[in-house]
Every structure is written in structure tokens, then in C-alpha cells.
Structure 1
Amino acid sequence: MNGNSRPNGVNGHPKDRNLMSRKPSSPMAPTFMVSAPGKVIVFGEHAVVHGKAAIAASISLRSYLLVTTLSKSQRTITVVFPDVGLDHTWNIDDLPWHVFTKLAQKPRYYDMVTSLDPDLVQAMQPHIDGVSPHLTGEKRKISQSAASSFLYLFLSLSSPTAPGSIYTLRSTLPIGAGLGSSASVCVCISAALLKQIHVLSGPHQDQPEEEVDLQLERINKWAFVGELCIHGNPSGVDNTVSTRGRAVLFKREDYSKPPNSRPLKDFPELPLLLINTKQPRSTATEVAKVAALKKKYPGVTEATLDSIDEVTMSAHALITSENFDPSSEENIEYLGDLFRINHGLLVSLGVSHPKLEHIRELVDYADIGWTKLTGAGGGGCAITLLKRHVDDEAIRELQRKFEAAGFEEHKTTLGGSGVGILYPAVLRNGTDEEGGEEIDQKKFLNATGPEELETLVGVGLLDRRPEWKFWQ
């Protein structure tokens, strides 16, 4: 077996592990952190499969990757992703660097890579086979996919002389809920590795817009390569939203090419409830349902898909209009009405679920906002755009009802920042004194629950510390 997996403590409590028995970081390379958001489809799901437009936006639930550089004598890389049971170490010198001598040319960090190199995939396989032996079935598959994505990017972007490092990942995003968790992770890995090879500049206040765009495009391109390792044929939308933040309007008329996407830089930050039904669903099954309906009733189904497209473009027209004011009750109500209409059209296509309808009924009864399913439907998540000045007690009562029904509710915001970096991983915690409090691996792994994690790292729904910098 190449490298080694250490299952002890991954599924148990991280406090049980002797976390930092390794040598401390080299002062030449401080511990740093990168973070990237998840996403929801706001308008246009299913219609987008049939060549119509859709809008996807970032949410304030995020992934966080802590990078700890080891002393020069330590020639290993370790990935610790407790959310997927992954804790594995490889020796840098044992990795299949030789494969690049066979290739015409190793891809460079500025290259556009749109497919995986089969020779590299094959050479990596023995180094992936030994990952997470304590897991079985789907859980092991997810863990090994994450390892493959990381290792492919590390081999592509790094070199045999790379410093030994520990990459520790935490996330407040539910996995497998259609919220772009894998893309969020890939953006974090891409940004961290590009930072380590010194090709990311900034972000800083006076950075020219073209330079910002170039930096984001580099992160995004390599995050897409990471997604290729996990999904085989990703759309590229999730990693684009996670990298750039805010929202994108996208359309995919030719499935042999990436979608045509347009960033919506003025998309507003809006308060959102995200409710996970915890009902497993298959995207392929729901997509097939609509395809079968279209075959059976082509005219009616096409008209419904056209109506969904109208909803998407109406939202786009409002948000991009010169006089759009996200604090206006009238504008929020307009978007809320489009939420409701979009959901009704998706219900008519047969892709809702009784649990999604129960969420909608509870929200409608509480009269606090507008609800729609997001993603493929058939389970998964619903999103609620909140009305302005909603009573806190009404929200708490609704949360109690969600909990009683077995749903998982997250208060979040829509349309926030994309990828960001905390370099070094130090927060001043309200003082001007030199130094500050470093976020080390032990603190990072010991933070329990989303609130404690966000409070520690200083970015997310609750906080946005000035030490964090974003390319935007």
C-alpha cells in the first residue's frame, strides 16, 4: 500500500488525536487558510438541461482548507478531511512524477485543461487504492474521490521538490445535497496549491480588475480539473460560482462544450433559509422524468420549460437593471414571487416531493417568505427567500417545526463572496497588538458545529474579519 491511512480519530472525536506531534511550520511558509462557498440554483433548474438559462448563486455555507507547511526534512503530504473520513499520508518522493517524462509536456499552471490525462490517472491509481481502508461502499468511494481530486491537482501543479505539508479541510456544507460541496473543496485545493507555487498575487485593494480576473480564472480552471476527477463530466457552473461568488447566469446548449456563463457581479446578498429534507434523491432519475414527460407531451412540456426560462430572465433583468435596489420591499417581493412561480412550474414537471411540499406549506403558513426547491428536486433541499423585517419568534417557531419533521435548517445568505484567503492564518481578535491568535490544526479540528467553526475561522454567515482577503 502506498502511503498510509490512519482511521483512528477520523470518525471519533478529533480531541482524541495527538494532532501536532509533527514539527512546527517553517517560519518561511506560515500556516494559511483558504475558503470557498457552496451554491444553490436560484432559478431555472431542469429547464437548463433543455438549453434554457439558469441562475446559480453562492451561499454563506463554506469549505475551509488549512495548510500547514512542515520542516524541510519531512517529505510527506497529508490530507485530513474528517467530513468524508479521509486521513492519508503520501511520501512525496514515492509519487508517480515519472509519468510527466512520458507526456509531451506537463501542463503549466496557466494552461487550460479540459480533460484528465489517462496516463496520470492510471499512474495515480495504486496511490489511491490504499486510501480509507476503514470505510466501505459509497463512503469509501467518496473518500477516494476526494483523495484523487487532491492528488491529481498536487501532481499537476506541484513538483518533487515541494515542501511537506498537511492539508486539513472542514466544511459547513452538507455533502450530496446539491449544494456544490465538492466544487467548494476543489476551489480551496486549487487556490491553496497555486498559492504554494507563488503564482497567486493579492488580493489587495488596489489590484487592477484584469489581474483579479486572471487570478480567479486560474483558480477556477484548476478547480474544474478537480471536479473532473470527482464527477467525470461536470458542468463547470459549481466551481465558477464557488470561485467568483455572487451569481452566474448560465446556459448550456451544446453538451460537448462547457456552458456559456456570465457573472452577475451586482447580485445582492439576500437572507435565505436553506432546508435540507435529508431525502436522498438521484439527479439522473429526476432529469429522466422530465425527458419522459417531454416525449409524452412535447408541446405542453416545452411551454413549461419556456415559462421557467421567462422566470429566470425576468430575475436577471431586474437584478441587472440600473435602478435595482436590493433593500426595496418591492424588489424583494418581485424576486419572491418568481421563487413561487418557478417552484409551481417545477411541481408541474413532477420533480417535487412530499417533504419539499411540507416545507413550502410550513413557510407559507408562517408567512415569512417565498419557497422553492433547488437543484434536481425529488428530495434534497428547499430555499426560502425571507421577507424584510421578519419576526424572530416566527423564525424560531418555524425552526422547531422543521426539526420535528426531521429536516435540517441552515440560516444563510445568498450571493456572498467567492474564494478568499487568510495569509497567515492569524486573527487579531479585536486588538491592535503585534501577532494575534493563530488558527492551528488542533483548534481547527476541535471546533464543533458550524457556529463554533465560523467563529474560529472568522468568515461565514456570522462574521467577516478584515484579515480575510477576497479577489473581487
Structure 2
Amino acid sequence: MAVRDPEMLNGGPDGLRGSSNGPGNGLSYVNGNGPLAHRLKPDRRTGRKQSSPMAPDFMVSAPGKVIVFGEHSVVHGKAAIAAAISLRSYLHVTTLSKSKRTVSLRFPDIDLVHTWNIDDLPWDVFQQPSKKKSYYSLVTQLDPDLVAALQPHIAVVSPEQPDEIRKVHRNSASAFLYLFLSLGSPSFPGCLYTLRSTIPISAGLGSSASISVCLSAALLIQLRTLSGPHPDQPLEEARLQIERINRWAFVSEMCIHGNTSGVDNTVSTQGKAVVFQRTDYSKPPLVRPLWDFPELPLLLVDTKQPKSTAHEVSKVAKLKETHPELVASILDAMDKVTIAAAEAIADDDFDDKEEDSLRRVGELMTINHGLLVSLGVSHPRLERIRELVDHEGIGWTKLTGAGGGGCSITLMRPDVPKEKLRKLDQQLEDENYQIFETTLGGDGVGVLWPAVLKNGTDDEHGGVEIDLEKFLNAEGTKGVERLVGVHGGGGEGEGWKFWRAESS
């Protein structure tokens, strides 16, 4: 299958156009060959074709991310490595009947629920020839006229909530509506978009980017502008689809954060890891995908200590002003650590199951943390995690993100005795830490179409349907993982498909 020129798609690639069962399955009801073809044949009494059935419920999922190497030095033009983690956001999409002319955004994790009348939205502004964007457009800044047109429809969101919560809700609504009106049209069907996330919010783990990727992918799927994902999809085509999703996820991120680097949504879309560097803030950053980045065992610990990224970045900047040569040498050392880590992982001799290989990377993580400590951005609760992990000999630990609180990551040694892990878990829990056993460098955006998890049988209709009620009633992050988790055990996650662009 050749890579398709975006301008020649005219309604979407074959993998999604008219598909009754979703991406890349080849069951087309448009040509009259699929299982639903009888519903579209002309009515013998009227001679008119019956209307197309509603699309099935489907789901999209995207991962969070951590900075593995290069925090703070990346602000000063050095390289950093960011990688996907297996904690994810999940978006459930329900298409309503034609008579329902509403679109709803529901995010129970932050108590956000709002419904808009589709016909009342400012389509006239978004549909102007000078404003209208295509699904393959590259949007690098928000249009102030479009932002202004959305304000009356955002101002009505969560009016009774406190200012801090209302701001979060309205940022989410702004991102959703900007994408919905940019990609959709006044004839777009009524829908329910329901979000659940297993990623801690405001912990520097890319939760907003994960949600942005989910929204972008879902809307592009509904527009039938994505092919795949399927096992035989050429790498070039998969990467084209990934880039398309990523472009619109970046737009969503701009709605939420204003000026944003784009690294979070890039990692969340493609998975694996990237080397990221920005030497000139007037130009786009340099992003080099690490398509062959292995999945590595990771212990992620949330200190539950509030932190301010702006404060920590400012602290380092002031230290650099006071001690320019010394801080410059620290930042240069961090850059060398990042480059050494990328080279170690790319080495043909690297084996993610061998302790010697993991030790090379782990020792670089330890060095990176020490350099961050010398910049004054650690915190006693972060150092306590390192103390406990080192005492049990479980792995190599460093802070991730801006520091001053937030989270730590530990690259796990292979074959750590379970009793040691249980002891560490209990110690951390007793001291009010939150623990996540996850993996580093996994899949990016994925699709479950229709929203049915397979049960491991050969019956194509077998499996468990994930309806909206089940999704909403899943209790907490563990409940969501058990119900729809991409990495669920016992075949629970079977049915999810991913755009994979790695070379092997």
C-alpha cells in the first residue's frame, strides 16, 4: 500500500471509508459487500437508499510521558529524552441519532460535564475560506478570531465552580471546541465524548497531551481521514497517520497551555521516545524519534508534593546568572549524559533483559539526578524515595520533570524479589506516596473499534462490549485499567490496535 498524498484522499483512505467495523478491517458496506450492506440497498417500495446506520461506539487511548534525561538543561538549549509510559488516557465516543443535535464533553475525573447545541456553535467563523483548515493542515499558532468566537461558548462552562477548577474546565472545553469546529462541519453528528485517565494530573506526566491526542485521533477517525492501524501497514504510511494526529494534538495543547514545546503530544502520539532539543525559540524544536526504544520496567512514584515548574525554572536561571561558568558546565554535563544514554540504548549490544545493559542506563540516570540536585531542584521527599529504593537495591532513581516535588522514576533491576517490592510499596504508602508500576517506551495512540474487547476466541463477534455506563462506573484508575486497559492481563486488552512506526 503506497503512501497517499493528503490532498488526494477526498474523504479518507480505504482503511476507514465506509467501514462498518472500523480502521483497516476491509468490511466495506459502501460497495455492498459487507455484513451491513443490506441496510443500504434501495427500498423496493420507494427506490430510495435507506440511511446509513450510526457508527458504533469506539475508543481511543494515548499514553503519558516522562522526561528520562535532560530536565532543565533542555530549557537552555541542550538535548533531552522523553519517553511514553504505560499510564494512559481513554476516550469513549458515542454517536447519537440524527435527531440529537448536541455534543457533550464529559470528564468525570475532574467533574467536568458540558453539552453544547451543535447548531449554535460559531460555524460561520470557522468555515470562512480564509479560516477553514483541512485535516492535514499544519497549524503552528491559534487564530485570534477563532479563539474570540469560542469565548461565549466557553464562558458558560462550570459557572458555579471555584476559579481554579473553572479554569481547568474551560481550558479543556476550549481545546475540544477548537478541534471540533476546525475539523468538523455543521452536519457533524451529535456525539458524547467521555474521558477517563489513569495519569496523575498536574504531576508533569503529560496528562493534558494524552487527552489532546485522544481528541485529535477520535475526530480524525470520525472524519475517516486515517488508514489503519493494521499489521501490514507500511512504516511510511503509519508515520503519516501519526503526524496527522500529532499536528492537531499540538493545536489542542496550544489551547490549554498557550506556548508549548510540542514534545509531550509528540511522545504521546507516537509512543516510544524522542530526543528533543530547542536551540532557538524563534524556530521549531529539533525532534528525533527513537523508534527502536525498548520497553523498560519502571517504578513511578508521585511525591504528592505540590510544585511549580515556573518557579524551578526561574531558580535555575538565577543560579546561572550568579555562577554562569559553573552552571554552564553542569548543563553541558547533562547534555553529555543525555547523548550517552541515547547511544547506549541504540547500541546493538543493548539488551533490555540483561542487568549489565540496564546498569549502563541506570548509572546515567543516577548521574543526571546528581546534576539536578546540584542545581537545587530536588526535594526532601524525592531524596527519601532514592534512599528507600537504594537501600533495597531495586534500581536506579532520579526525579523527572521540573523537580521541587512531582514524581520520581526508577529503572528496575531485572528479577527483583517480590518481597523487596512489597516492602518498598508498604514503606512508600505509609509515608503518603503514590506508587505506579509501569513501563517506559511503550505504544503511542491506539484504537478500539468497535468498543469491544476480544475474549480470545475465534468468534469475530465474541468479546465484551464497553458501553458508556460500564466506562463511567469503572471505579478509579484500577477499575478503568481492568475494564479497558491497553495492558490488561489475561487477554483483557486484546482488540486494541496501534499505529506503530518503529523499524523492527
Classify the TM-score, shorter chain.
Answer: over 0.9
Distance in 2 (CA, whole Å) between partners of 1:317 and 1:253 is 21
Partner residue in 2 for 1:471: 499
Structure 1, 142-151 or 434-443: larger mean CA deviation: 434-443
Distance in 2 (CA, whole Å) between partners of 1:373 and 1:461 is 27
**SS in structure 2 of the partner of residue 99 of structure 1:** helix
Partner residue in 2 for 1:406: 432
* Pair 1:453 & 2:480 matched: yes
Q: Structure 2 matches for 1:294-333, cutoff 5 A?
A: 294-333=320-359
Aligned AA (2:498): F
Partner residue in 2 for 1:443: 470
Aligned length: 447
Distance in 2 (CA, whole Å) between partners of 1:465 and 1:408 is 24
Aligned AA (1:467): G
Q: Structure 2 matches for 1:243-258, cutoff 5 A?
A: 243-258=269-284
Aligned AA (1:396): R
Partner residue in 1 for 2:84: 58
Give ranges in structure 1 of 5+ residues lacking alignment.
Answer: 1-25
Aligned AA (1:86): L
Q: Select 2:166's aligned residue among 136, 140, 157.
A: 140
Q: By how many angstroms is 1:328 displaced?
A: 1.7
Q: By how many angstroms is 1:159 displaced?
A: 0.5
* Pair 1:189 & 2:215 matched: yes
Q: Structure 2 matches for 1:29-48, cutoff 5 A?
A: 29-48=55-74
Q: By how many angstroms is 1:205 displaced?
A: 1.1
Q: Bigger radius of gyration, 1 or 2?
A: 2
**SS in structure 1 of the partner of residue 123 of structure 2:** coil
**SS in structure 1 of the partner of residue 367 of structure 2:** helix
Q: By how many angstroms is 1:101 displaced?
A: 4.9
**SS in structure 2 of the partner of residue 127 of structure 1:** helix
**SS in structure 2 of the partner of residue 271 of structure 1:** strand
Q: Select 2:376's aligned residue among 332, 350, 354.
A: 350
Aligned AA (2:494): P
Aligned AA (1:348): S
Q: By how many angstroms is 1:105 displaced?
A: 3.8
Structure 1, 321-330 or 240-249: larger mean CA deviation: 321-330
Aligned AA (1:466): E
Partner residue in 2 for 1:128: 154
C-alpha contact (below 8 Å) 2:296/2:441 kept by paired residues: yes
Partner residue in 2 for 1:91: 117
Distance in 1 (CA, whole Å) between partners of 2:479 and 2:313 is 38
Q: Structure 2 matches for 1:72-111, cutoff 5 A?
A: 72-102=98-128, 104-111=130-137
| Cα distance per residue 1:73-122 (max 9 Å; x no partner) | 10100011011221000000000001135551401111100011111111
Partner residue in 2 for 1:291: 317
Query: How big is the alpha-carbon RMSD for the aligned residues of Structure 1 and Structure 2?
Result: 1.3
Partner residue in 2 for 1:5: none
Distance in 1 (CA, whole Å) between partners of 2:492 and 2:143 is 39
Question: Percent identity over the alignment?
Answer: 64
Distance in 2 (CA, whole Å) between partners of 1:294 and 1:132 is 42
Distance in 2 (CA, whole Å) between partners of 1:361 and 1:328 is 24
Q: Select 1:224's aligned residue among 246, 250, 257.
A: 250
Aligned AA (2:379): H
Aligned AA (1:238): D
**SS in structure 2 of the partner of residue 64 of structure 1:** strand
Aligned AA (2:466): I
| Cα distance per residue 1:245-264 (max 9 Å; x no partner) | 00000100111222100110
Aligned AA (1:439): I
Q: By how many angstroms is 1:427 displaced?
A: 1.4
C-alpha contact (below 8 Å) 1:75/1:92 kept by paired residues: yes
C-alpha contact (below 8 Å) 2:54/2:97 kept by paired residues: no
C-alpha contact (below 8 Å) 2:453/2:492 kept by paired residues: no
| Cα distance per residue 1:167-221 (max 9 Å; x no partner) | 0000000000000000000000000000001101110111111111110000000
Distance in 2 (CA, whole Å) between partners of 1:88 and 1:159 is 20
Relative distance call for 1:264 and 1:230 in structure 2 (3 A) is: same
C-alpha contact (below 8 Å) 1:247/1:265 kept by paired residues: yes
**SS in structure 2 of the partner of residue 173 of structure 1:** coil
Q: By how many angstroms is 1:325 displaced?
A: 1.6
Distance in 1 (CA, whole Å) between partners of 2:399 and 2:334 is 13
| Cα distance per residue 1:324-352 (max 9 Å; x no partner) | 22112111011111111100000000000
| Cα distance per residue 1:420-448 (max 9 Å; x no partner) | 00000011223333343210110001111
Aligned AA (1:432): D
C-alpha contact (below 8 Å) 2:171/2:255 kept by paired residues: yes
C-alpha contact (below 8 Å) 2:81/2:276 kept by paired residues: yes
**SS in structure 1 of the partner of residue 329 of structure 2:** helix
Relative distance call for 1:263 and 1:63 in structure 2 (3 A) is: same
Distance in 2 (CA, whole Å) between partners of 1:392 and 1:210 is 42
**SS in structure 2 of the partner of residue 36 of structure 1:** strand
C-alpha contact (below 8 Å) 2:89/2:198 kept by paired residues: yes
| Cα distance per residue 1:134-174 (max 9 Å; x no partner) | 32121111111111100100000010000100000000000
Relative distance call for 1:322 and 1:302 in structure 2 (3 A) is: same
Q: By how many angstroms is 1:464 displaced?
A: 6.7
TM-score of the superposition, structure 1-length normalised? 0.93
Distance in 1 (CA, whole Å) between partners of 2:302 and 2:345 is 27
TM-score of the superposition, structure 2-length normalised? 0.87
C-alpha contact (below 8 Å) 1:85/1:132 kept by paired residues: no
Structure 1, 423-432 or 217-226: larger mean CA deviation: 423-432
Distance in 2 (CA, whole Å) between partners of 1:100 and 1:48 is 36
Distance in 1 (CA, whole Å) between partners of 2:187 and 2:488 is 38
Distance in 1 (CA, whole Å) between partners of 2:492 and 2:277 is 32
C-alpha contact (below 8 Å) 1:458/1:465 kept by paired residues: yes
C-alpha contact (below 8 Å) 1:412/1:461 kept by paired residues: no
C-alpha contact (below 8 Å) 1:60/1:461 kept by paired residues: no
Distance in 2 (CA, whole Å) between partners of 1:384 and 1:459 is 22
C-alpha contact (below 8 Å) 1:68/1:166 kept by paired residues: yes
Distance in 1 (CA, whole Å) between partners of 2:381 and 2:66 is 18
**SS in structure 2 of the partner of residue 63 of structure 1:** strand
